C-alpha cells in the first residue's frame, strides 16, 4: 500500500474512532492533523528514498530532516491547541496526529529495508 493512500485511510479510521470517543468536536482535529501527519510522512519518506544507497552521512542527514519534520508536527499540535482550543482540543488533536503518524512510521521501516 502506498503511504498516501494509507495516510488517507488511517485519517478516516482515526477520525471515526475519535468521533466515537470524543464526539463531533474531534472531527476537525482528526482531519487537519491526520492530513498533516500524512504530508509530513510523505515528505520524510521521500527524503529517505532519495538517500537510499548514499553514503552514511548523507543518509543520516535525510533521516534527521525527516525527524525534524515530525518534530515540527508536534510543535504544530501545541500551537493549534494554544491558539484555538475550541477547534483543537488537546487529546483528540494529539491522538489524530499520532494515530496516523505511528502506523506510517512502521510502513516507512518496511520500505527502508
Q: What confidence tens digit (pLDDT) does each residue in 20-74 have? A: 999 999 999 999 999 999 999 999 989 988 888 889 899 899 989 999 999 999 9
d(CA 90, CA 4): 25
Q: By residue range, what is the domain housing residue 90?
A: 3-112
Please tell me the total count of domains within the chain. Answer: 1
Half-sphere exposure of 100 (CA within 13 A, CB side): 37
Amino acid at each position: 500500500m502506498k503511504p498516501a493512500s494509507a495516510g488517507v485511510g488511517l485519517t478516516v479510521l482515526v477520525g471515526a474512532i475519535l468521533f466515537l470517543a470524543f464526539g463531533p468536536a474531534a472531527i476537525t482535529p482528526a482531519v487537519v492533523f491526520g492530513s498533516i501527519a500524512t504530508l509530513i510522512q510523505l515528505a520524510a519518506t521521500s527524503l529517505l528514498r532519495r538517500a537510499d544507497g548514499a553514503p552514511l552521512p548523507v543518509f543520516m542527514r535525510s533521516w534527521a530532516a525527516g525527524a525534524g519534520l515530525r518534530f515540527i508536527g508536534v510543535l504544530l499540535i501545541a500551537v493549534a491547541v494554544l491558539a484555538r482550543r475550541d477547534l483543537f482540543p488537546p487529546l483528540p488533536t494529539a491522538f489524530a496526529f499520532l494515530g496516523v503518524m505511528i502506523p506510517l512510521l512502521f510502513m516507512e521501516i518496511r520500505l527502508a529495508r
